[in-house]
Structure 1
């Protein structure tokens, strides 16, 4: 009897595990998995373009893309010109709908 109960509990928990994992997904605003892939692709494109500029501070900018193609740039840069260049690069990337600039200019000591 105990073995039958233990086996039943094991089978039920195995069947319910995917349901629990799905309900614990913190990214519930995604309507389709391809949306996440598209957002990631935009982020990678922007990061690659920033890295291609060969300016060290541009490579340290964090890029985040939401489900509608809106990009948020954060981090620190050395000058306002570098911040403007990063925003320009992000705006010129395919798939980007808007750019929010949260870049800070690093004060020289």
Structure 2
């Protein structure tokens, strides 16, 4: 009989793997989902760290390497800068800059 800690560890790993597999979107493999999530995180980080962009106002979604930027920004310059930052992330195939200037 296995010790309880080993059984719990195996159960935890099984649940974690099932969760990752379940997170993949329709038509996406787990690897593609992880890559898209990584791209989204890197883009958001760049937006937060850049003084010219308001990271809180910009939503980022990535699907198949295509980054979608949505939200409201203060100027055309900020919109353009957000697009530049998104394009600079490794793995980005294209950027759909749908930001609204108010």
1:9-48 aligned at under 5 Å gives the runs: 27-30=25-28, 32-48=29-45
What's the TM-score once normalised by structure 2's chain length? 0.71
TM-fit CA distance, 1:57? 2.6
Aligned-partner Cα distance in 2 for 1:93–1:26:
21
5+ residue gaps, structure 1, are 1-24
5+ residue gaps, structure 2, are 1-22
Larger radius of gyration between Structure 1 and Structure 2 = 1
Number of equivalent positions: 81
> Does the alignment pair 1:92 with 2:88?
yes
TM-fit CA distance, 1:28? 2.0
CA RMSD across the alignment:
2.0
- In the TM superposition, structure 1's runs of 4+ consecutive aligned residues that sit over 4 Å from their partners are none
